[in-house]
Amino acid sequence: MSDLYLDSLSLQEEMPRLAAQSRLVYLGLEEFLRSHPIPIKNEGSLLDVGSGLGILTALVSRHFPGIHVTGLDKSTDMIRFAQVSNPKMEWVNGDVASLPFSDASFDILLNSFFLIHLPQLEKSLKEMDRVLRPGGYILMIEPDQQATKVDPLIEKLIHSHGELGPGDRKALTQAESFYLGKAYEMITQQELIITTDGSDDAPELNYPNIKIGRMTAWSMISHMGQLMNLRDIYNECLESYMKKEISIQQFVVSIRLYRKKA
Ligand SMILES: C[S@@+](CC[C@H](N)C(=O)[O-])C[C@H]1O[C@@H](n2cnc3c(N)ncnc32)[C@H](O)[C@@H]1O
């Protein structure tokens, strides 16, 4: 099956959205990492699997000064961008299904807006489990589509977009059963609730709630309009949204921290 999500990904199209999404999510993630510090020493190592532009990788790495940071992504464009932006970190072009690292070689794994895109989730989770050392941590940040509330028309657009990709929008719950069925414990979980009754000038954090403006909210899903197959429904949504006939009430992003038992 061709991967219409990935095939349509290009730096030019994805950069503004991913950059804005990373900065928005980091507002809440920063608070999360402050209240639940991950006890990893300076000589440790972190791997961001599906690191994209590497913006979130770099922001998260601020919480672990002195640790070795690696980002891996399947897209050569993304890796090239990350390399130029953060040359001190290591950037690897590769596939999660076959990670080019030895067993137990990382202390922390990071996944962000990633698992929902994977065709063979279980295989990928096993591969990530292989490279994480016992006692290591997984920090997972994924959209929670069941808790996200949008108008039914927009829901249809998001659903159709999800159907085009090979991944599964239920990845969050599937990953949870995988980890808890293995030797992992959930350290903590926090939902960031992003509502759209704020200002477009700047997001407003009242942890774990974040307020953004209507147009900022639209920009989070506007990439869906690039896919020819979704043009009609996208344009219908856009027109109604601009007339304020329909709305996005809230996006929910789940942050989960797991520890692999030693
Ligand atoms: C929505 S982006 C998220 C990027 C980044 N984590 C962030 O939060 O901005 C998903 C990323 O996963 C990468 N990706 C998709 N399938 C992959 C695979 N099998 N192995 C490695 N990376 C993959 C894509 O190239 C893309 O950069």
Ligand 1 atom 27: the closest Cα is on which residue?
Answer: 52
* Domain span holding position 136: 4-260
Residue 22: CB within 6 Å of ligand 1? yes
Cβ atoms within 10 Å, residue 104:
15
Q: Which of 23, 49, 117 is the best mutation target for the ligand 1 pocket, counting ligand atoms within 8 Å of the beta carbon and taking the most?
A: 117
Q: What pLDDT digit, counting tens, does each position of 2-52 carry?
A: 444 455 456 777 788 899 999 999 999 999 999 999 998 788 999 999 999
Mean pLDDT of 185-192: 96
C-beta of 52 in contact with ligand 1 (< 6 A): yes
Model pLDDT, residue 224: 87
Q: Indicate whether residue 57 lines ligand 1 (CB < 6 A).
A: no
Confidence at residue 129, expressed as pLDDT on a 0 to 100 scale: 97
Q: Tell which residue, 203, 187, 201, has the closest CA to residue 255.
A: 187
Q: Which of 75, 93, 220 to mutate to test the pocket of ligand 1 (most atoms within 8 A of CB)?
A: 75
Please, which pLDDT band fits residue 251 given cuts at 50, 70 and 90? very high
One-letter amino acid at 219 equals: S
Are 210 and 203 in contact by the 8 Å Cβ rule? The answer is yes
**How many Å apart are CA 198 and CA 24, to the nearest integer?**
13
Q: Tell whether ligand 1 has an atom less than 6 A from the beta carbon of residue 78.
A: yes
Q: Which atom of ligand 1 is nearest to the CA of 119?
A: 19
Q: Which ligand 1 atom is the nearest neighbour of the CA of 52?
A: 27
CA 49 to ligand 1 center in whole angstroms: 7
Domain CATH for 88: 3.40.50.150
Distance CA 237, CA 214 (A): 14
The average pLDDT across 111-138 equals 95
User: Which residue would you say has higher pLDDT here, 135 or 12?
Assistant: 135
Q: H helices of 138-230, where?
A: 152-164, 171-181, 214-221
- Please say whether the beta carbons of 168 and 239 come within 8 A: no
User: What ligand 1 atom has the least distance to the C-alpha of 25?
Assistant: 8
Atom index in ligand 1 nearest the CA of residue 95 equals 20
Structure tokens at 124: 């990928």
Q: In the predicted model, what is the mean pLDDT of the chain?
A: 92
**pTM of the complete model:** 0.94
169 CA from centroid of ligand 1 (Å) = 15
Query: Letter for the amino acid at 193?
Result: I
Phi–psi pair at 90, nearest 5 degrees: -95, 130
Q: How far, rounded to the nearest angstrom, does the alpha carbon of residue 91 sit from its chain's CA centroid?
A: 18
Kind plus residue range of the DSSP H or E element containing 47: strand 45-49
Domains of the chain: total? 1
- The angle, 0 to 180 degrees and rounded to 10, between the axes of the packed helices 214-221 and 231-242 is 180
Give long-range contacts, CB 8 A cutoff, 24+ apart: 19-25: 19/53, 19/55, 20/216, 20/219, 20/220, 21/113, 21/220, 22/52, 22/53, 22/55, 22/56, 22/59, 22/112, 23/55, 23/59, 24/194, 24/203, 24/210, 24/212, 25/56, 25/112, 25/141, 25/192, 25/253
CA of 242 to the centre of ligand 1 (A): 30
**Per-residue model confidence (pLDDT) at position 153:** 96
Report yes or no: 53 and 76 within 8 Å, Cβ to Cβ: no
Sorting pLDDT into bands at 50, 70 and 90, what band is 238? very high
